[in-house]
Amino acid sequence: MTKQMHLAAHFPGVNNTTVWSDPQAGSHIEFSSFTHMAQTAERAKFDFFFLAEGLRLREQGGKIYDLDVMGRPDTFTVLAALAAVTDRLGLTGTINSTFNEPYEVARQFASLDHLSAGRSGWNVVTSWDAFTGENFRRAGFLPQEQRYSRAQSFLDAAFTLFDSWQHDGAFSYRDEHFDIAGRFDVPRSPQGRPVILQAGDSDEGREFAAASADAIFTRHGTLTAGQEFYADVKGRLARYGRRPHQLLVLPAVTFVLADTDAEAEERAALVRRQQVSGQTALRKLEEVWNRDLSGHDPDGPLPESDPIVGENTIALGRASTRMHKDPLALVAKWRALAEEKKLSIRELMIEVSARQTFVGSPATIAAAMDEFVQAGASDGFILVPHVTPGGLDEFADRVVPLLQERGAFRTEYTGETLRDHLGLDEGGDA
């Protein structure tokens, strides 16, 4: 029997994947954009809507980074408002465990779960950087090596609060990070606990997910990498007394659709050019070189200077810089590639930028997605459109019906809550 996939809609992110220069691009902050994308996802019977978070405007070279779409709403507030314009769609978002307190966050999620009749989900992220901390009372007090330990404590404390109604709300939680006690004032919510999502790809992140999460985001967009990751995290569950279906693996993926595969390839190339303007190419190069390259011509050759090795000081407030572990090796590889294909800075950055995960006609994409799931590389996908707010429309109209025909996706919601959609048990202890 065909295994059914889960699908989620990621509101386009604050990065250069999101193309604001497209004529179809609308507001990134007006509520009508959020409504449009959420209602499209619900019309297509998606499992949930997802909203990311970043708590400080990114900077590069000591200045606010101005090339990408920017400006975000408050996660809780926009999800609560979306509960008014949707009926079944799960409403999930990122909430940081470093710059918040468990009592307040537990109260907010329990409230969201009541106000959405059981559709809330929480992507737990940890951060430690003093740069973001400058916006908070709780600034800069967390050493990096403690971030998962605090996140685990934070989640355990929140679980204690969610489950406290069996004792009339009385609770007490004490460990190295928190010492809190009192009475919780939100009675048990429809799902018991929000669905817990986790996005870390590190060993610690995977372990955290295996212990506590209901779904894990990944970036493994190829079949082999996906299968390895899938087997790895599912294999960690037994240690925590959990079964494979209790942690869903959901890679975040991009897509470009057109009538034919050839047209889609053409369109995908165009989108990558939109995503990497000359200025964006230079700034991306700076992330790796770790120095100011603003004097260079993006249509000219790579800089002759070498990258500055060590702590990345040029780009602040973004996760991607941590991925450049060996800049010297990367630069050597890029130089060779640019030499061989005669590429300018911009052409090189387009060449090495992430290719869209699924490119093709609706039939091609539906088949590829289905294969990915049937082959044990994921339990579904988090789709990241590149245009706000209509970037999901075509997918909903043209690919979803084909997935449904294949028996690979639901044709109607069969449950009420997000846990129902995801096939998860009710959360926590009643």
Would you give the DSSP letter of residue 320?
Answer: G
Structure-token pair, residue 430: 């009643």
Show Cβ contacts of residue 343 under 8 Å, excluding neighbours closer than 6 positions.
337, 351
| In the complex, minimum distance from the CB of residue 174 to other proteins, in angstroms, rounded to a whole number | 8
Contact call for residue 341 and other proteins (CB under 8 A) = no
Near other proteins by CB under 8 A, which window of 94-102, 191-199, 254-262, 307-315? 94-102
Segment 274 to 293, residues that bind other proteins, using CB under 8 A: 277-280
- Give yes or no for a contact between 184 and 107, defined as CB atoms under 8 angstroms apart: yes
Structure tokens at 245: 């279906």
Pairing label, strands 170-174, 179-183 = antiparallel
User: Does the protein bind other proteins through residue 167 (CB under 8 A)?
Assistant: no
Contact partners, residue 263, CB within 8 Å, separation at least 6? none
101 near other proteins, judged by CB under 8 A: yes
Q: Which residues, 296 to 335, sit near other proteins by CB under 8 A? A: none
111 belongs to the binding site for other proteins (CB under 8 A): yes
- The correct pick among 107, 219, 242, 273 for binding other proteins (CB under 8 A) is 107
365, 257 Cβ separation under 8 angstroms: yes
Where does residue 35 rank: exposed (0-12), middle (13-18), buried (19+ CB within 10 A)? middle
Residue closer to other proteins by CB (options 4, 120) is 120
Is residue 192 within 8 A of residue 427, CB to CB? The reply is: yes
Q: How far is the CB of 94 from other proteins (least distance, A)?
A: 12
Q: Between 4 and 75, whose beta carbon lies closer to other proteins?
A: 75
Residue 185 interacts with other proteins (CB under 8 A): yes or no = yes
Residues 250-279 that bind other proteins (CB under 8 A): 277-279
The residue within the footprint of other proteins, chosen from 4, 97, 108, 123 (CB under 8 A), is 108
Longest CA–CA span in the chain (Å) reads 70
Interaction of residue 99 with other proteins, rule CB under 8 A: yes
Does the footprint of other proteins cover residue 128 (CB under 8 A)? no
Tell me the DSSP string of 67-129: SS------HHHHHHHHHHH-SS-EEEEEEESSSS-HHHHHHHHHHHHHHTTS-EEEEEE----
Applying CB under 8 A, what is the total number of residues that bind other proteins?
A: 63
In angstroms, the CA 33 to CA 13 distance is: 13
Least distance from other proteins to the Cβ atom of residue 254, Å: 20
Spatial separation of the C-alpha atoms in residues 356 and 134, rounded to whole Å: 35
Least CB distance from residue 364 to other proteins, whole Å? Answer: 32
Residue window 207-246: x/- pattern of binding to other proteins, with contact defined by CB under 8 A: ----------------------------------------
136 lines the binding site for other proteins (CB under 8 A): yes
Helix axes 345-352, 278-289, angle to 10 degrees: 80
User: In terms of CB distance, is 101 or 263 closer to other proteins?
Assistant: 101
Render 126-187 in DSSP notation, one character per residue.
----HHHHTTSTTTT---GGGHHHHHHHHHHHHHHHHGGGGGTTEEEEESSS-EEEEE--SP
Nearest-approach distance from CB 399 to other proteins, in angstroms: 29
Site track 62-91 with other proteins (rule: CB under 8 A), x = hit: -xx-xxxxxxxxx-xxx-xx-xxx------
Q: Which residues bind other proteins (CB under 8 A)?
A: 20-21, 29-31, 35, 54-57, 63-64, 66-74, 76-78, 80-81, 83-85, 99-101, 103-104, 107-108, 110-112, 114-117, 134-139, 169, 178-183, 185-187, 277-280
